[in-house]
Amino acid sequence: MKNIFFKIVSIFILTMVSINAYAVPSAKVTYRVITEDGSPIEGVKVRAGFRGYSTNPAVDEGLTDEEGLFTASGDTQYEVTASIRKKGYYHSGYTYGGGDFTGISGIKGFRRWEPWNPTITVMLKKIKNPVALYMRNLGQRSRLGDIENTMPELEVGYDLIASDWVVPHGSGTHSDFIFKLEKNHITNTNFRDVLTIMFSNPGDGIQPYYVEKDNSSTFKVPYHAPNSGYDNELIQVYEHRPNKIFVSNFRKDQNYFFRIRSELDKEGNVISALYGKVEGNIMFAASNKIKAAWLKFKYFVNPEPNDTNLEFDETKNLFGNKFKRKN
């Protein structure tokens, strides 16, 4: 009887050791949620997902305290992904993992990710004054003109309010952006394509805005466009040479402000203009198998002259349903 008991205990211990040996490490993180001026926000809902071997991550959720803090813990293979929400603020999210973890401590079955319980600061941006804007997300179906395949040069205007090429390529009447493509696309592994974006009027232009690494808000750029600092052209390069990696100046943290339809006084000061923004980069790609280049960017335009407010009311897209995808 005693031998049977010891066998059962031994099997139980071996089973537990085997299970623990394959258990994923645990992680613990504290979220500190603040406003743009650094003040803590109480009552923010934090929902942290810990991804183990299951396709459905374990979840730890709760509300921040008066110091804006909430601590979450769970087992994870490699990262902790949090959704951070509060009424009256733009949603934020934060993924901690990969290079953020420096290693694993402890013995098999009782391992944990290091650093243990780091404090992650997340900023929530207030919803202030959303307004109606023209917003369109131009995808890969928007071709950059109808051009020849052998190192062509094409200069064509695009009307952002009409969201179309200007005549005779489309129905647009204002060349808000002028795209010039220089395509040297010998093969898909040997090319150097250059896209230059220019403007029609003195005073028009574009300027970059780079999102900080810790800016996890869905509203990433400032609420208002700047009144100065615009350049009259932007050059995008996409290059690949045999036996070398792709080269481009597309950046993940890239956004832009722009000014169009500018009118100047006698001294050269802007007295009237429309302001807008591009969320993300202005990207393009060519091919030796097509006569055109693909163009992709997401833009917003405020139709009120001299109104720099670019906080978009998603219920008031001035394009209406014109560019919604059909099922």
Tens-place pLDDT, residues 58-67? 899 999 999 9
Confidence check: pLDDT of 181 > 90: no
- Ranges of each domain in the chain: 2-123, 131-317
What is the torsion angle, in degrees rounded to the nearest 10, for the CA atoms of residue 198, residue 200, residue 201 and residue 202?
Answer: 30
> At the top level of CATH, which class does the domain 2-123 belong to?
mainly beta
Residues 292 and 154: their CA atoms lie apart, in Å, by: 10
Q: Residue 216's pLDDT band (boundaries 50, 70, 90)?
A: confident
Residues forming beta bridges with residue 24, ordered by sequence position = none
Give 89-142 pLDDT, tens digit per residue.
Answer: 999 999 998 789 999 999 877 899 999 999 999 999 999 999 999 999 988 566
Look at residue 3 in the predicted model and tell me its pLDDT.
Answer: 56
- List beta partners, residue 122: 33
pTM of structure? 0.82
Tokens of 131: 């307004």
Q: Can you give the pLDDT at residue 19?
A: 42
In angstroms, the CA 107 to CA 20 distance is 10
Residues 225-264 have pLDDT tens digits of: 999 999 999 999 888 888 776 667 777 889 999 999 999 9
pLDDT of residue 327 exceeding 50:
no
What token pair was written down for 30?
Answer: 């504290």
| Backbone phi and psi for residue 92, each to the nearest 5 degrees, phi listed first | -125, 160
Per-residue model confidence (pLDDT) at position 84: 97
CA distance 239 to 191: 6
Compute the distance between CA of residue 305 and CA of residue 12 in angstroms, rounded to an integer.
76
Q: What is the average per-residue pLDDT within 260-286? A: 94
Residue 300: predicted pLDDT: 98
User: What are 143's two structure tokens?
Assistant: 């071709």
Angle at 286 between CA 283 and CA 289, to 5 degrees: 155
| pLDDT, tens digit (0-9, with 9 covering 90-100), for 284-320 | 887 777 667 788 899 999 999 999 999 999 999 999 9
> Which tokens in the block code for residue 26?
């645990």
The pLDDT tens digits for 16-67 are 444 444 578 999 999 999 999 999 999 999 999 998 766 677 899 999 999 9
Q: Are strands 112-114 and 119-123 parallel, antiparallel or unpaired?
A: unpaired
Ramachandran quadrant class, 216 (left: phi over 0; alpha: psi -120 to 50; beta: rest)? alpha
How many Å apart are CA 276 and CA 311, to the nearest integer?
Answer: 10
Cα 34 from Cα 215, distance rounded (Å): 12
CA distance 170 to 99: 48
Pairing of strands 69-75, 153-159: unpaired
Q: How far is CA 36 from CA 41, 116, 127, in A?
A: 11, 27, 12
